[in-house]
Amino acid sequence: MDTIVLEGATHKKAGPGSVPGVPAPPVKRPKAKKAKKAVVFFEVEILDAKTKDKLCFLDKVEPNATIGDIKCMFHKSHPQWYAARQSIRLDPKGKSLKDEDVLQHLPVGTTATFYFRDLGAQISWVTVFLTEYGGPLLLYLMFYFRVPFIYAPKYDFTTSKHWVVHLACMCHSFHYLKRLLETLFVHRFSHGTMPLRNIFKNCTYYWGFAAWMAYYINHPLYTPPTIYGEQQVRIALIIFLFCQVGNFSIHIALRNLRPPGSKTRKIPYPTKNPFTWIFLLVSCPNYTYELGSWFGFTLMTQCLPVAFFTAVGFIQMTVWAKGKHRSYLKEFRDYPPLRSPILPFVL
CA–CA gap between residue 322 and residue 313 (Å, rounded): 14
Work out the pLDDT band at 215, boundaries 50, 70, 90: very high
User: Does residue 211 surpass a pLDDT of 90?
Assistant: yes
Work out the pLDDT band at 23, boundaries 50, 70, 90: low
- What percentage of residues in the chain have a pLDDT greater than 90? 61
Residue type, 205: Y
| 115-135: average pLDDT | 92
pLDDT at 22: 55
User: Does residue 255 surpass a pLDDT of 80?
Assistant: yes
- The CA angle 254-255-260, to the nearest 5 degrees, is 140
Work out the pLDDT band at 104, boundaries 50, 70, 90: confident
What structural domains does the chain harbor? 42-119 (3.10.20.90), 121-222 (no CATH), 225-347 (no CATH)
Give per-residue pLDDT as tens, 37-56: 667 888 899 999 999 899 98
CA–CA gap between residue 170 and residue 165 (Å, rounded): 9
User: Does residue 259 surpass a pLDDT of 90?
Assistant: no
Rg (CA), the chain: 34
CA–CA gap between residue 250 and residue 259 (Å, rounded): 16
The overall average pLDDT reported for the chain is 88
Contact call for residues 267 and 328 (beta carbons, < 8 A): yes
What does DSSP assign to residue 90? S
User: Does residue 150 surpass a pLDDT of 90?
Assistant: yes
User: Does residue 13 surpass a pLDDT of 50?
Assistant: no
Give per-residue pLDDT as tens, 229-248: 899 999 999 999 999 999 99
CA–CA gap between residue 8 and residue 111 (Å, rounded): 72
User: Does residue 190 surpass a pLDDT of 80?
Assistant: no
Task: Spell out the alpha helix ranges (H) of the chain.
Answer: 2-13, 67-77, 125-144, 163-185, 197-217, 229-257, 285-301, 304-331
Work out the pLDDT band at 197, boundaries 50, 70, 90: confident
User: Does residue 318 surpass a pLDDT of 60?
Assistant: yes
* Number of Cα atoms under 13 Å in the Cβ half of residue 300: 28
3-state secondary structure of 281: coil
Strand partners, 116: 48, 88
| 258-280: average pLDDT | 87
Work out the pLDDT band at 192, boundaries 50, 70, 90: confident
